[in-house]
Structure 1
Amino acid sequence: MITFITGKKGSGKTKKLIEGANAAVASSKGNVVVIEKGLKLTYDVDHAARLIDIEAYGIKGAEALFGFISGICAGNYDVTDIFVDSTLKIMGPDLQQLIPFAEKVNALAAMANTNITCLISADKADIPDGVRQYITEV
């Protein structure tokens, strides 16, 4: 299953991601992965989660992010949860690219039996219609 947590900057999205990641670590019988842009969550997310600084891998754009997430799922069959912070900073500001990205990631999540949560810094009203079914607002 894929979930987009949306809200404007400062609305509490990252706090919700941290809470979700720590809850997943506590309940998961597999691995929890947190993808971030920079190293700002190091002390907030439980050490049992795998933190990945996406900048270290040169990932930019929706296709590259999808491929990166696919590689995580392919490389480790017991990843139960993936959290992506700063999704639009990784993908780029074009909200229309969320539609094909959401479709591909949702199919991947179902195939890999993985929960994937992405943070989107945008108001729900600005999100394209084809993506709204995946939204949880802060």
Structure 2
Amino acid sequence: MIQVFCAKRGSGKSKKLIEMANEVSINSKGDTVYIDDDSRRMMQLNKKIRFVDTEELDIVDCDSFYGLLCGVVSQNYDVENIYIDALSNIINKNIAESITLFKKIKEFSQRFNVNLFINLNCECLEELPDFIKSYAA
């Protein structure tokens, strides 16, 4: 399953994503991973959640980000939920140009039975490409 949360920068998306991750990690049978482009929010997460800072790993495009996802699952087959904050900042690309990444993420989610929750900055929901609208929560 993939859920995408879209709203303007500063609207509280990260806070809600952290709350969701913390709540789900308490009752989840599998492990939870939180991916962000910096470590500012790391201390707000439950200690059971594995935090990954993409800036430390030089993740800068769609291919390296997808490689990170594959590495997370290959290192731990018990990962059930992955929370991705500010995807557009991580991949340094206009989100409309990331159709290939979303196709890979969809296949990844189904293949490894992993739930992905993704935050995107967008000014207007109508501007979202159709391939993302289908995942919008």
Question: TM-score band (shorter)?
Answer: over 0.9
Instruction: Write the letter of the residue equivalent to 2:30.
Output: G
Partners of 2:47 and 2:129 in 1: CA distance: 35
Q: Which residue of 2 aligns with 1:44?
A: 44
1:43 alignment partner, SS class: helix
How far did 1:71 drift? 1.4
Partners of 1:21 and 1:84 in 2: CA distance: 10
Deviations 1:110-129 (A, max 9, x none): 11111011110013222111
How far did 1:97 drift? 2.5
Q: Which residue of 2 aligns with 1:12?
A: 12
Matched length: 136
Deviations 1:60-104 (A, max 9, x none): 011111111111112211001001111101112412223221111
Partners of 1:62 and 1:55 in 2: CA distance: 14
| 8 Å contact from structure 1 (residues 2, 102) kept in 2 | no
Deviations 1:18-53 (A, max 9, x none): 111112211111210001111111221111100111
| 8 Å contact from structure 2 (residues 82, 114) kept in 1 | yes
Fraction of identical pairs, as percent: 29
1:71 alignment partner, SS class: helix
**CA RMSD of superposed structures (Å):** 1.2
Q: 1:41 to 1:50 in 2, by over 3 A?
A: same
TM-score (norm 2): 0.93
Partners of 1:53 and 1:95 in 2: CA distance: 20
List runs of 5+ in structure 1 lacking aligned partners: none
Instruction: Write the letter of the residue equivalent to 2:129.
Output: P
